[in-house]
Structure 1
Amino acid sequence: MTENAAVRNTLEADNVETFDVVIIGGGAAGIGAAASLLRRRRDLRIAIVEPGERHFYQPAWTLVGAGTFDVDDTVRPMSSVMPKEVRWLRTTATRFEPEQNRVLLGDGQRVGYRHLIVCPGLRLAWEKIAGLEDTLGKNGVTSNYRFDLAPYTWQLVRELKGGKALFTQPAMPIKCAGAPQKALYLSCDHWRTQRVLDKIDVEFHLAGEALFGVAAFVPALMKYVERYDASLAFRSNLVSVDGARRIASFDVKDAAGQVTRVDKSYDMLHVVPPQVSPDVVKDSALADANGWCEVDHATLRHPRFANVFSLGDVCSAPNAKTAAAVRKQVAIVAENLLAARNGKPLPARYDGYGACPLTVEKGKVVLAEFGYGGKLLPTFPLDPTVPRALAWRLKATVFPWLYWNGLLKGREWLVQSKER
């Protein structure tokens, strides 16, 4: 008896509705994976478990926070992006039962699968910073990591004419590791053009020890840090916010590992929250030691459950958690899942590609593209460390169009990476 036949017989015996593929999550990874599979096999029975009624293009929220993108253009009804051939289960996944090839849903039902794709994204853990949730969206506290707050960022930037502006970055991993400093650069560029930057004390507090994880891009970024006269505070982690008093508290670790609590007053505070794996994954048999969905880094298949794949922010592969990474991963998962379905060796290999268009000023971007180990993987034959107007046009115009009309439609444009 084949593996698929054994799974089918078990599920039919349990009287559980079964799909060829069940996908957990209707974000970029889930919709993209479904669309790519259906482009290859129109007859697949696919279900997507997704409770949300809206789908967001999150990479543009940085531009919203700088007043260069309309927030309404970053959201569409989920029904408009959900592939018509897919069964949309409008609920949550509450428990994985990989030994039985089943998922328990929030409405109490179970669904069976022959293959499972796990991509519910990650969770923004605002609650890990004491007092933050009570003051978000007021008292000068904002974040481009939320749809409703990115416009408030731009309001604060426009209104600030002097004082202290703090920007924070928590410990990795986070979505789009460059986004915290993008907010800083674009804010400072606006203040510079308005000739008030010299009246604003700008500080960037990073929990880590480096400005950016790929060393090749640090010199170019440091030039902008110096241009904007921003102070860098490494090993400085935001732990609490008193919005009423406008005080942000940081745990600062010195070279010897000693931690000191430091309070900072602010007029504007841009916060990036800690980010964690969703409980449904973290508390399951699918998780690795850190709570992420465990995968082979090359094939994106689970090492212990051969009919389970994962991609996007929740998977354990050590790549940058970006939409650009998802664009490459969906093709890997689609090719490998169909090969596994047919009992064949997995043909596709993921090189860890991710991209972070670093908006260093209005009109210029450092298009950082890299893979595992920090290997540079530029799409275009240009020095990727140089800020370019072309890269800004890609970020502001081309990439959003490719997202809605390419990735979410299963059109795998620009999926091949090149080493440099």
Structure 2
Amino acid sequence: MTSLVMVVSCPPTRLLASFLQRGSQQASKFQLHTGTPSAAKDYYEFLVLGGGSGGITMSSRIKRKVGAENVAIVEPSEKHFYQPLWTLVGAGAKKLSSSSRPTASVIPSGVEWIKSVVRELDPDDNCIRIDNGKKIAYKYLIIALGIKLEFEKVKGLPEGFSYPKIGSNYSAGTVEKTWKALQDFKEGNAIFTLPNTPVKCAGAPQKIMYLSEAYMRKTGKRANANIIFNTALGVVFGVKKYADALEEIIKARDLHVNFRQNLIEVRPEKNEAVFEDLDSPGSTKVMSYEMLHVTPPMGPPDVVRGSPVADVAGWVDLDKETLQHKKYPNVFGIGDCTNLPTSKTAAAVAAQSGVLDHTISLVMKNQKPVNKYNGYTSCPLVTNYNKVILAEFDYSAQPLETFPFDQSKERLLMYLMKADMMPFLYWNGMLKGYWRGPAFLRKCLHLGRD
């Protein structure tokens, strides 16, 4: 945090530094929970499905409403990851170990941890089934099951990761392979992909491209590298202001972007990747690579897809303003497993948690929810080892920036926020239920104008 404060020079950023200092002092009072998984009871007032960012955050908030003994989290994993850090792990700027903590340490003290997989959702009977067949009933349900990585939908994966030139920043088991492939790169094509599905943190596939290019320049390999971004989308970024800034960087650094190209197969024994042209169905192109970063296809969790809580595409079907289920008033959702029409990021979860907290409070009183989620999300676009464009926007894909300066410019301050401040806020603020995004800070910095 010292390095961040040192670069602060203007009054708005001094306000941010003061805010962070107070947060640090408050966080020092927090005690880590060191509980262990428990035998599930038959009924809980609040049942939270998923121990990721949304599930832990909402459990912390709900605990303060109804008491820890009335809340349970269903989560099978022993480790909890702060996944936004994996962009920097894949580029060698952070260690994988710095992105994880034991799940037991982040579950709110006193909240029951049911270490299991959710096998069935039965909202008509207000219950779920877990992997041992046990039925657990609830009064209120919060679904925070995240998104499913589907590497297997690319022919040749995931077995292709056993070869040395393929990596992916999207899983704990493959992110370090990205860094190894980058270090081993000598010359040829370095290809980065974005699939034809919803993904979490849609900016991440190109962040690693910018960092790889910077690393190659630093190590003298850039002259022999052809850096390619094959994206299934038709634009480099969904918000024009930031897309324009990124296009300038792409041009200045001689990067090659091919739109509407979807990875469908890898041939790791030949170092070949096969792409489908989405504007010409059935047409494919084979490209050789010396390094390949794969962003996998993604989809809703299996237990959600086809269940009563899902929409036609398989995502949890929510009112986009209240985060309450459209059919089941005692069911709520948050994060990547939902059909909220905004980018799936940790920043979005933080903003959603504040709205959902208010929604649940009113529903518990048989009142109509009034707080409205505006679709706020954030994507720190890492463009170098010391620069970030901080993209912030809403449902309308319009910038919704926190700071009173142009965030489409590359800045060191924004990199320090990404690398150091945001992880601190995540572990010590958001997961504890005390950080709901920068809306209040934005109003202060913009003198009350949002």
Contact 2:120/2:303 (<8 A) preserved: yes
What is residue 60 of structure 1 aligned with on the other side? 85
* 3-state SS of 1:156 partner: helix
Deviations 1:13-64 (Å, cap 9, x if unpaired)? xxx8221110110000000011122234436611111011110010000001
Aligned 1:228-267 pairs, distance under 5 A: 228-254=253-279, 257-267=280-290
* 3-state SS of 1:395 partner: helix
CA-atom RMSD in angstroms: 1.5
* 3-state SS of 1:319 partner: coil
What is residue 75 of structure 1 aligned with on the other side? 100
Aligned 1:275-286 pairs, distance under 5 A: 275-286=298-309
Distance (Å, rounded) in 2 between the aligned partners of 1:239 and 1:43: 46
Aligned 1:96-107 pairs, distance under 5 A: 96-107=121-132
Q: Give the AA of the match of 1:128.
A: K
**1:172: how far off?**
3.6
Distance (Å, rounded) in 2 between the aligned partners of 1:137 and 1:372: 40
What is residue 358 of structure 1 aligned with on the other side? 381
Matched, 1:330 2:353: yes
Give the counterpart of 1:383 among 406, 419, 426: 406
Relative to the length of structure 2, the TM-score reads: 0.87
Give the counterpart of 1:215 among 237, 240, 263: 240
Distance (Å, rounded) in 1 between the aligned partners of 2:435 and 2:233: 35
Q: Give the AA of the match of 1:282.
A: R
Query: Percent of counterpart pairs with the same letter?
Result: 37
**1:338: how far off?**
1.9
**1:331: how far off?**
1.4
* 3-state SS of 1:282 partner: coil
* 3-state SS of 1:285 partner: coil
Deviations 1:49-85 (Å, cap 9, x if unpaired)? 1011110010000001111111111111100001122
Q: Give the AA of the match of 1:108.
A: G
Distance (Å, rounded) in 1 between the aligned partners of 2:158 and 2:253: 30
Contact 2:197/2:299 (<8 A) preserved: no
Contact 1:36/1:331 (<8 A) preserved: no
Q: Give the AA of the match of 1:89.
A: I
What is residue 114 of structure 1 aligned with on the other side? 139
Contact 2:311/2:317 (<8 A) preserved: yes
Relative to the length of structure 1, the TM-score reads: 0.93
Give the counterpart of 2:230 among 200, 205, 219: 205
Aligned 1:284-323 pairs, distance under 5 A: 284-323=307-346
* 3-state SS of 1:384 partner: coil
Matched, 1:369 2:392: yes
Instruction: Give the aligned length.
Output: 403
Contact 2:351/2:436 (<8 A) preserved: no
Deviations 1:263-317 (Å, cap 9, x if unpaired)? 1111110000000001110120000011100000000001110000001000111
**1:138: how far off?**
2.1
Give the counterpart of 1:270 among 289, 293, 301: 293
Contact 1:33/1:331 (<8 A) preserved: no
Matched, 1:226 2:256: no
Distance (Å, rounded) in 1 between the aligned partners of 2:106 and 2:130: 22
Distance (Å, rounded) in 2 between the aligned partners of 1:413 and 1:128: 35
Contact 2:318/2:340 (<8 A) preserved: yes
* 3-state SS of 2:304 partner: helix
